Amino acid sequence: MQSELGLAMIGSGFMGRLHSLAFTILPSFYADLPRIRRRVIVDVSDAAASRGADAFGYDSSSTDWRAAIDRDDIDIVDIVTPNDSHREIAEYALSKGKHVICEKPIALTAAEAAEMARLAAQAKVVTMAAFNYRKCLAIKQAKKLVDEGAIGEPLTFRGLYLQDWAMPEGLPWSWRFGKAQAGSGSLGDIGSHALDLAVYLVGDISEVVSMTRTVVPSRPRPDAHAVFNPTAAASRANDMVPVDVDDCAMAMFRFRNGALGTLEATRFASGRKNYLDFELSGTKGSIAFNWERSTELLYCSASDRADVQGFRTIVTGPLQPGGENFWPIPGIGTAYIETQVTQLGDFVRAVRDGGSVETDFAHGSRIQEVMEAMLASAQDRRWHPVRGSASESRAA
Amino acid sequence: MQSELGLAMIGSGFMGRLHSLAFTILPSFYADLPRIRRRVIVDVSDAAASRGADAFGYDSSSTDWRAAIDRDDIDIVDIVTPNDSHREIAEYALSKGKHVICEKPIALTAAEAAEMARLAAQAKVVTMAAFNYRKCLAIKQAKKLVDEGAIGEPLTFRGLYLQDWAMPEGLPWSWRFGKAQAGSGSLGDIGSHALDLAVYLVGDISEVVSMTRTVVPSRPRPDAHAVFNPTAAASRANDMVPVDVDDCAMAMFRFRNGALGTLEATRFASGRKNYLDFELSGTKGSIAFNWERSTELLYCSASDRADVQGFRTIVTGPLQPGGENFWPIPGIGTAYIETQVTQLGDFVRAVRDGGSVETDFAHGSRIQEVMEAMLASAQDRRWHPVRGSASESRAA
Amino acid sequence: MQSELGLAMIGSGFMGRLHSLAFTILPSFYADLPRIRRRVIVDVSDAAASRGADAFGYDSSSTDWRAAIDRDDIDIVDIVTPNDSHREIAEYALSKGKHVICEKPIALTAAEAAEMARLAAQAKVVTMAAFNYRKCLAIKQAKKLVDEGAIGEPLTFRGLYLQDWAMPEGLPWSWRFGKAQAGSGSLGDIGSHALDLAVYLVGDISEVVSMTRTVVPSRPRPDAHAVFNPTAAASRANDMVPVDVDDCAMAMFRFRNGALGTLEATRFASGRKNYLDFELSGTKGSIAFNWERSTELLYCSASDRADVQGFRTIVTGPLQPGGENFWPIPGIGTAYIETQVTQLGDFVRAVRDGGSVETDFAHGSRIQEVMEAMLASAQDRRWHPVRGSASESRAA
Amino acid sequence: MQSELGLAMIGSGFMGRLHSLAFTILPSFYADLPRIRRRVIVDVSDAAASRGADAFGYDSSSTDWRAAIDRDDIDIVDIVTPNDSHREIAEYALSKGKHVICEKPIALTAAEAAEMARLAAQAKVVTMAAFNYRKCLAIKQAKKLVDEGAIGEPLTFRGLYLQDWAMPEGLPWSWRFGKAQAGSGSLGDIGSHALDLAVYLVGDISEVVSMTRTVVPSRPRPDAHAVFNPTAAASRANDMVPVDVDDCAMAMFRFRNGALGTLEATRFASGRKNYLDFELSGTKGSIAFNWERSTELLYCSASDRADVQGFRTIVTGPLQPGGENFWPIPGIGTAYIETQVTQLGDFVRAVRDGGSVETDFAHGSRIQEVMEAMLASAQDRRWHPVRGSASESRAA
């Protein structure tokens, strides 16, 4: 095993910062893993890249992501740019035999994602679509309960991801409002996390029907255009930029095992800030979760004595799977950083062991297929089968 | 104004008990209303009817509902029998010029309900489909906020009605599991209340898509067959009786005003007992409610100062619309009885004033149209328009 | 057994209304109990008394409570007047051999209450101090768990009763602000309920220390003086009336069994409406409750598997003790009325059977002793033993 | 300004790990602060110290804390050892002119703490008692509301810190159960945080009354004795070690401004894991908080329109004070790490600017005075004034 792995971070925004600091503190939690050397951080401008290098502890900065990937001392490429650049960078990194982490959604279309998954399989490297929320202790405990059979056969799943950041009047256009840059709107940005949880906890989705709505059809041109892909700048010509993605997306679906599911993703749910929420009901019990109270898992066992049966509020901590690596006291609170630490720890472990992670590009592609079927259904108002098969996916 | 109105209660089960005691205590809350004389209660057996008369304070009992309705001293007929007898009894009562209260759903099909609504319009009497939950103080406050414009234009509505009573293995068949008696399963039984709230708070529904599932396909023959319609007894021949209605029903829909909606109704949500829940998000705020905490309304105003914005938990009481008739202290708790008192008070007031109520048979028919479109969609997997038009409905 | 018992209601305010309607609907819930004939209702003015008789269904009204009690056809006297008249009326009723229900606190001082308890024991009738909150299904389930040993030995109890009705500026003086009429302020008015729960669930209190505060020292003279005792009218001379009772009361105490307790009662807790709340922690588990969510009991069992341990939210209904008499569906909600029905049902049953109720005058006296020790401690800043002994009390 | 400050971490346990990683990631959040060079980490054994150095990124390790402090390249000494060694190490560091961070409680007695505060004032360095919980975004928002006058004059404060880790039978003795090592039990360990919040939000405490209980009087001798102070090993002679501190502590107190307060700290509250909870009611509103839902602040404004008044659940994020340094989306969750980052950031800023922090040793001493008065009151059962005066304290 290499004692140190070289990292190139492509992007220095919020996610670049977050992934960087998670890599920085990995050794505090997983003493057995190889150390990650933060070698180079890339952004579109020298200023941004060099500011990132300084703040996040990289040896160097660059505006040339290809050159950064080419370096011999780079083992891992972490892609935290807007969605429309994911594919190009990831495929280049795969072609160079690098291990690749990519923010979700990994591509703009299912076809692109499938091609990425195919190239990843050829490259025999570790790939990861960064579905970090499933790494939360409460959700890992939920998965443990499902795997134990504690809730029996799954019957219904309801997934919500509600935010309200898009509501303020006059909020400028940004790349998350453009189909060319983002692929979809609330569906890909946040709904994809809820779908990831659906697949993780219940299994493959076989067919979907969907509807979407764009609440605000155009937005003021942003003063500064911070997207990675400079070609998008063309849209700055006018004062208002059209919003051509969904602000709200709703869907119903069937899982391959017969369970029924619903999905709601919106940026217009006043008062909901990061409300990633699910409830899974099975023949022997239920589990429920809400990210805004991410330290809690709700679990009801139908085998508890009837007069004292009810949802248990489990305050998570060291007793949950993976929790032993964090704080010794339950309820002290693990939140966002810890999910990043866990997923990057899983990734580095897979690199060390020549293994793979749960949310590899094949999984990312599978989620993309589901979303694409939903977008098609929102257009033609029909039920759509989800392409691909269980055997193609490493989901769950 | 008559100082006293004569009541015939058709059915002496749980709902018969509940409506009877609500009528009994009406004067404590509405001193201005005519008193209701509980003249006769009807059930299939002498024993049940006479037990009901004794326990609920009726002057007499009977097993002949036609004779009871025929009586000159009967002004109001209250139908609290299984769904398959609603239409016949209601139409008879209308033909005799009586005011009619009918439990929901008022009929087994939309065509039946539409015919009932037509006859009700002809009869020029007061009719009511007993959608009691909307009479809860929290929901009346929600309606007030919507009408004030406090949440702006509605964008999304999510309605849930989750129970788990059907889960225990070996639970015997009852009329709620039979299409002939109940029309539908969870959809009509509980989902109808969530749809009532959707229409009440947001407006007419224009189109729907749905899916349903029957989790347990057959159930043990019940030892005693307590349904009102004796022809159903034929199914007792075997030890297991098929369940031919939905245990779970999910739907998406569009409101006429463009808002998006989802519905989930299930009898298999372990740990959820009477979880009638909704969230309505609009352009200026949101409201949310859950019957299991029926004293609370959640309300978020997007115009609150940003750093102290959030859902307010309003503990309801005398300040909410209609609450001045109940307890002087907020939070003392109003629950199920109070909704019955309120809806029957509204009904008696309409009888007194020659007016009408919000949830008349036209409204009941409208809800039935929505449900029938959902059942059709669950069969043919297509979006279905909802027949009828806003002008036909007195909804909201 | 008499098939009917005659009732005299002394007071026609909120509590008179509430008790009256609970008596009215008793037969719906307890078919086996004697019926209660509402014979006479008493108030200070003819108008109030006769309005009460009409609204609540009494055969007659009166302004002479002694005459009403004297009547041969009166078996039960229900006292729902301000606190300062409780003793005189109750002692008169006892002297006439009537069964007596009295709102809490039953007296202004512990000595008065002890004398009432002594007279009650002599009279060999059924007496009841109306601590209705303990009749809530959630609290009855809590008691069942404690009695089963489910939480082991009690260690700590925290009781809160928080309201905010006294906060609005300019709120007029009423009898609840006067020591002569009310005995104490928040302590007796609401704190007494929390103390009742402490004694019910944990056992006798042996010593206390306390502090109190009067936030608003005087209040505007009320326009109409609605108190029962006309001598209080003297204070109307000036425009401001002094508040000589506690607005907030806090206490610590020790139970006889060694458990530690705290109490907080206040009328100045902004946002808390009827927040009667407790948490009881024992060596094997905990229970917690809040009246504002009165349909829920929280229960944590330390013997649940460690990784899925947590407070269970039990949604109460027919499975809880006494719940079989109410609605067939858990979570449908029982609230305030149901506690009144239950306590009055218990009372009538005791009358029928020649038994007694949990909260008889001896119990009421015991609670009064605790409160008096607290008021003394608030004065002299010392720990005070609670007079009397366990054997004198029928508590729990 | 120095561009880099040298750090000596004294202790490599949980807190050593936590503080170390907070220092490591400081630059991600506060680009303007000097960097912290992790120069040396100290523990009792070579193995522990060197493991810490490796895992947490220190240049060197040591078992000699005096030598570590003596080094010229050390600017900051961070003391995260058991309580009984705090004073000796802190006073040595002060004598060498180093800036000192010390875990709370900073000393075993009030006299010791006062002496430490005196030496700190002489030394003209930055000192900090590590009351990290107040750095939570929700609590900083609470402080902002209090300072704005949003809740008016404070009336009552209830502080709880409930855990249940001490409940399992057979749990071995550790230093937190010994008075010689810990000073007190639940009071100092966790109650001190609740007291810190009381003083922060309401102001100085003038007098207290208290009671305590030791639930389990002795505990099995631990197999390995991991405490820092080796003299404690003497107690290993027998198989059971006495517990001579409080398992539960309750107190009432008065603030200098007249507000009333209560405190409850326990290690025996089954189901409560890290339940640091407070409610502060004032003349114009209330705020409430619970660490187990640390992303939420509850706030009720008495000036909201009466029918839509209620506690707002504020989901915290970038709009709260200091939140702009963390994640861009509210509700993404800040928890334990973020409080450590904030408090260490505040400390480094004070070092840079020659300023001070809110929770300096004078503040730590003030909290110690309150606790000592409580422990004395638990012994002699009297109200105790809190020594010192507002002018001596920098609290709030």
CB B312 within 8 A of CB B288: no
Q: Is the pLDDT of residue C325 over 90?
A: yes
In chain A, residues with a C-beta closer than 8 Å to the C-beta of B158 are: 160, 264
CB D49 within 8 A of CB D43: yes
Q: Where would I find the H helices in chain D?
A: 14-29, 46-56, 65-70, 86-95, 110-123, 137-148, 179-182, 186, 192-201, 336-353, 361-380
Alpha-carbon gap, residue B143 to B336, rounded angstroms: 19
pLDDT tens digit sequence for C210-232: 999 999 999 999 865 444 444 45
Q: Do B156 and A268 touch (CB under 8 A)?
A: yes
Residue C222: per-residue pLDDT: 86
Q: Is the pLDDT of residue A164 over 80?
A: yes
In chain C, residues with a C-beta closer than 8 Å to the C-beta of D268 are: 155-156, 281, 283
Position C388 confidence tier, pLDDT thresholds 50, 70, 90: confident
Mean pLDDT is lowest, of B374-383, D113-122, D219-228, D270-279, for D219-228
Q: Is the pLDDT of residue B335 over 90?
A: no
Averaged pLDDT for residues A279-289: 98
CB D146 within 8 A of CB D259: no
Q: What is the mean pLDDT of chain D?
A: 93
Position A224 confidence tier, pLDDT thresholds 50, 70, 90: low
pLDDT tens digit sequence for C35-81: 999 999 999 999 999 999 998 999 999 999 999 999 999 999 999 99
CB under 8 Å to C379, separation ≥6 — which residues? none
Residue C59: per-residue pLDDT: 97
Residue D235: per-residue pLDDT: 46
Position B334 confidence tier, pLDDT thresholds 50, 70, 90: confident
Averaged pLDDT for residues B68-93: 96
Alpha-carbon gap, residue A314 to A275, rounded angstroms: 18
Distance from CA of D266 to the nearest CA of C (A): 9
With contact defined as 3+ CB pairs under 8 Å, the chains touching B are A, C, D
Averaged pLDDT for residues B230-239: 53
Q: Do D14 and A327 touch (CB under 8 A)?
A: yes
ipTM of the predicted structure? 0.93
Residue C224: per-residue pLDDT: 53
User: Which residue of D lies nearest to A314 if distances are taken between CA atoms?
Assistant: D271
CB under 8 Å to B270, separation ≥6 — which residues? A151, A281, A282, A284, A285, A286, A300, A301, A302, B164, B167
Closest listed residue to residue C319, CA positions, set C332, C308, C304, C330: C330
Q: Is the pLDDT of residue B393 over 60?
A: no
Nearest-by-Cβ selection for C302 from D167, D285, D310: D167
Q: What is the mean pLDDT of chain C?
A: 93
With contact defined as 3+ CB pairs under 8 Å, the chains touching D are A, B, C
Q: Do C14 and B54 touch (CB under 8 A)?
A: no
Q: Is the pLDDT of residue D393 over 60?
A: no
D57 in the Ramachandran plot: left (φ > 0), alpha (ψ -120 to 50) or beta? left
Mean pLDDT is lowest, of A140-154, A224-238, A372-386, B340-354, for A224-238
pLDDT tens digit sequence for A27-66: 889 989 999 999 999 999 999 999 999 989 999 999 999 9
Nearest-by-Cβ selection for D337 from A54, A56, A337: A337
Alpha-carbon gap, residue A207 to B389, rounded angstroms: 32
Choose the mutation target among B141, B312, B313, B319 for the interface with D, i.e. most D CBs under 10 Å: B312
Residue A388: per-residue pLDDT: 72
The number of beta carbons lying within 10 Å of the beta carbon of residue D372 is 25
CA separation (Å) from C90 to B369, C12, C20, C96, C129? 60, 17, 18, 10, 11
Interface of B with A (CB under 8 A): 151, 155-156, 158, 160, 162, 164, 167, 209, 211, 213, 215, 248, 250-252, 254, 258, 260, 262, 264, 266, 268-272, 279, 281-286, 298, 300-302, 309-311, 381-383
Residue B230: per-residue pLDDT: 43
Give the rounded percent of residues in chain D with a pLDDT score beyond 90: 88
Mean pLDDT is lowest, of A102-106, A112-116, D253-257, for A102-106
- Burial of B163-194, coded b for 16+ CB within 10 Å and e otherwise, reads bbbbbeeeeebbbbbbbbbbbbbbbbbbbbbb
Residue A334: per-residue pLDDT: 87
Residues in chain B: 396
Q: Is the pLDDT of residue C237 over 90?
A: no
Alpha-carbon gap, residue D157 to B171, rounded angstroms: 51
Closest listed residue to residue D58, CA positions, set D70, D43, D67: D43
Give the rounded percent of residues in chain B with a pLDDT score beyond 70: 93
With contact defined as 3+ CB pairs under 8 Å, the chains touching A are B, C, D
Alpha-carbon gap, residue B277 to B265, rounded angstroms: 10
pTM for the full model?
Answer: 0.95
Averaged pLDDT for residues A206-219: 97
Residue B224: per-residue pLDDT: 53
B353: exposed, middle or buried (C-beta count within 10 Å: 0-12, 13-18, 19+)?
exposed
Axis crossing angle, helix A46-56 with helix D14-29, rounded to the nearest 10: 160
Q: Where would I find the H helices in C308-335?
A: none
pLDDT tens digit sequence for C121-151: 999 999 999 999 999 999 999 999 999 999 9
Q: Where are the beta strands (DSSP E) in chain C?
A: 4-10, 35-42, 60-62, 76-79, 99-102, 127-129, 154-162, 205-213, 218-220, 240-242, 248-255, 260-266, 275-282, 285-290, 296-301, 311-315, 384-385
User: Which residue of A lies nearest to B212 if distances are taken between CA atoms?
Assistant: A260
3-state secondary structure of D114: helix
Residue C3: per-residue pLDDT: 80
Q: Is the pLDDT of residue A203 over 90?
A: yes
pLDDT tens digit sequence for B251-305: 999 999 999 999 999 999 999 999 999 999 999 999 999 999 999 999 999 999 9
Distance from CA of A308 to the nearest CA of C (A): 6
Distance from CA of B374 to the nearest CA of C (A): 26
In chain D, residues with a C-beta closer than 8 Å to the C-beta of B320 are: 307
Distance from CA of D160 to the nearest CA of A (A): 15
Residue B226: per-residue pLDDT: 46
Averaged pLDDT for residues B30-45: 95
Q: Is the pLDDT of residue B235 over 90?
A: no
